[in-house]
Amino acid sequence: MIDSRPGNLSCIFSTMKFVCNEAFKYRANPMLTFDQPLYWKALTIIDNEPKNSDLKSIVLRLGGFHLEMSFLGSIGNIMSGSGLAELMETVYAPNAVTHMFTGKAVARAVRGHFLIYNALTSLLLCEQFQVSSTVLKDNDTENVEHLSFLEDSEIHSENTFIQDLNKLSYIFDEILERHLPVDTLDQNEVLRKIRDSISTFRKSHIEYRTARLWFLYMDMVDLLRNFIKAERTGNWTLHLQTIQKMLPYFAAAGHNLYLKSAYVYLQQMHGLSRTNPAINEALMSGFHVMRRSDRFWSGLSSDLIIEQVLMRCIKTTGGLTRGRGMTDAQRSLWILSMPQCIQMNEALQQVTGVNFETSEQHKEMCIPRKERDTKDTTTFLDFLGERSPFSIDKKLRNIETGATGDSNVNSDNALVIGHNIISSMEGKCIDEFVFKRKNQVTTLSSKLNIKVDNEEISVDPQLLFQRLVTTANTMFPDVSEVFKYELSAVPAALFEPSGLMRQAQKSTLADEIWNTGSCVFSDDLGTDVHHVIDGGSLIQRIPWKKGATFAEICQSYIDHINNRYPIPIIVFDGYGSGPTTKDHVHERRSKGVTGTHISFKDSTPFKSKKEIFLANGENKQNFINMLCNKMDNEGFISLQAAADADVLIASTAVRYASCYPTVVVGEDTDVLILLLFHAEENSKPLVFQSDKIRKSKVWDIKKTKELLGNEIVYLLPFIHAITGCDTTSRLYGIGKKEGLKRLRENAIFRELASVFLKQDATSDDVIQSGQSALVILYGGETGESLDQLRYRKFNHKVLTNSLSCVHVQSLPPTSEAASQHCKRAYYQIQEWTNDSVHISERY
């Protein structure tokens, strides 16, 4: 054992000298494996040795395991901001996903990528054969309820697809039982049919950027699969071919050191047949990997063997790092005692009659593992089914948040970009070649980049916060001054790392009010009941039959209303071309998908997907116009707001409730709050209920209003807006339950809240009152500013959270960020509570 740092050049030189001497002693050809940093240093040493040096005979290999780790990091880099992280977080913990994206948690990353690949392939086949993804979960074609929504052609397509799946399942079983040779699969008709279908689908979607990025991801996972296959089976040719195909992805992702090392490594390995035929023959025979058993799938990279054997022994119980120390004497004692420990272990096995053996069956073939894999694949498939990356959309978007990339984002062309970088390397001196960041891919996460010296750098918001605070401790005499700034790329208490406002949890306010006391309506409404229906909720509720004309779709809505509501008034949202305060909500709900504009009339058959069709605002507006005309012809009353319909729904219900018992049918908590605010005491019964049959709450608005009290009801719009609604951000760590509690118990808080209900409040009044209210919500002291509270909260968390770091989003917002939040809340409250809103430019 050489007592020196591994990266020390003398240590590396001594190692190579020792290996050469041992190889000469046993008349063998010396071959050494290093991970990338040591590989490059060893390469430099050999290159600088004289021609007659015995070190020139060494064949250097780049460690396969660490190469795999770097490639996993490249996948994570290229796919950052695409929604892949959110997809993985449905199965793995967020902290684990972070390590999986950097190539550290290798086993989890490999399993996660393989399962997602399976889910994507399943989704691709379902879209190609135009069948539901539920077919892959349950092949019960006798389910009449499911098939009733399908056309005859779709049923035939689905049955054909299921038959093909059953044939593939039979072929798979035959291969496992060794009744069918593997080499006959290339001639299998069913496999060729599905392979051709996948190829056709990919060609038809190559112009859609989001689909192209995820096709690229599938190609990278396929490369990862081939590399693992090459290592496990000892296939040297496949090993070299796969590394060569990895090079463009290393280049595009900015893994420049591995790109240079792998480039040189491939050149030297391809030249072995000429420079060292004996080693080349050994490598072709599969001796580039090590085996601990004679099973076919048991090859292990030499650097992985070091991790699994030597490093595992050193770092587990009984190892050097477990309190023994690392001095020369202790290392010698530990090494010399290992053979005796082995004999002792074998003796104990004989005495106890318990032997440690491994099964021939791979652990991933056991039933619990297969059940877990099936469950997680289904989870991935459910997520992707709602956010399909293969939708017809030419924009490049995050499938979870819907955030779209601008013209600079080019991660979907990573392969081309990588090839261009490699082409620029040809003929250049490897030591003098300089990689430029601007030539690498620009990912979707670049929207959150920060600029340093006019260069965009992608920084983890939490890491940025920690480094800024650490730096401030040494540079500023009063550290509290820096907490006046966000210390993050976005106001973390109000915005998600993606840049979107934090999504409000609106239903929690309704639940808290419901739990206050008896709010249920239990009386008889009598006759002449008018139903005010939320048109937006209604449109989403009725499924659209593919192939049906738009006239038939409209008729299904009319039939639904006729069967349920004797006197209906339907109120729809408006979808104009201008911007609105709810644009970010629409973007989040559509996941960034913008459907193609479709011109249609009554006789036009519907051949798209409902979600994609309605994702286009013009399509949605035109359909609402058609539906309103048909409802008017049917004798219904249909109304349409200029934008959001919540205020129109509430005001219409209150107007009808002055003369008739009225039921409001909808799902939105906003409508409930507005009904409580605008309802009149002397009106007829006013009820709010969901259109859902199961677990539907029936609210008695008048009873609920009496239960809460007039003062609390008057201030409910403030609590709803300041803690997050469709147009304002949710406050991280502050729920609506906490806000309602403060409203009931704190008179000062109620006084501050009342400012937001005044139509003539000034900008300064709104900002000052809003910031003071936020201080109370965050548990601050009287007279304390938000910036002072941020610093005090930070110190408190540092002292109490000894096992975890302080997350930037857990701190209150800065005064500047809070002022903008308060202005937005004030504007929304005025829209809710006044007939006309005129906000001065000073806001």
Kindly compute the dihedral angle of the four CA atoms of residues 260, 266, 271, 275, in this order, to the nearest 10 degrees: 70
Contact (Cβ atoms closer than 8 angstroms) between residue 149 and residue 131: no
pLDDT at residue 309 in the model: 79
Cα–Cα dist 804/359, whole Å: 40
Of the listed ranges 236-245, 456-465, 660-669, the least confidently predicted one is 456-465
Given a cut of 50, is residue 149 above it in pLDDT? no
- What is the four-CA torsion angle of 190, 195, 198, 200, rounded to 10 degrees? -100
Q: What angle do CA 39, 44, 50 make, to 5 degrees?
A: 130
What integer pLDDT is reported at residue 469 of this predicted model?
87
DSSP 81-131: TTTHHHHHTTTS-HHHHHHHHTT-SHHHHHHHHHHHHHHHHHHHHHHHTT-
Q: Are the CB atoms for 705 and 712 separated by under 8 Å?
A: no
The answer on pLDDT for 452 being more than 70 is no
Per-residue pLDDT reduced to its tens digit, 385-425: 888 899 887 888 888 877 788 888 999 999 999 999 999 99
| 3-state SS record for 71-92 | HHHHHHHHCCCCCHHHHHCCCC
Write the class of the CATH domain 521-696: alpha beta
What is the per-residue burial (b if ≥16 Cβ within 10 Å, else e) of 737-755?
Answer: ebbbebbeeeeebbebbeb
- Element at 664 (helix H, strand E): strand 662-665
pLDDT of residue 192: 86
Q: Give pLDDT, residue 147.
A: 34
Least confident of 11-15, 121-125, 272-276, 306-310: 306-310
pLDDT on residue 530: 95
Closest among 727, 739, 686, 723 to 818, alpha carbons compared:
723
351-367: pLDDT as tens digits: 888 877 766 677 777 88
**pLDDT value, residue 140:** 39
Q: What are phi and psi of 61, to 5 degrees?
A: -120, 145
Residue scoring higher pLDDT (453 or 26): 26
pLDDT tens digits, residue range 327-344? 878 888 888 888 888 888
What ranges make up the beta strands (E) of 379-494?
450-452, 455-457
Cα distances (Å, whole numbers) of residue 512 to 284, 419, 679: 70, 58, 20
Domain boundaries, the chain: 326-356, 521-696
Quick one: pLDDT band at residue 836, thresholds 50, 70, 90?
Answer: low
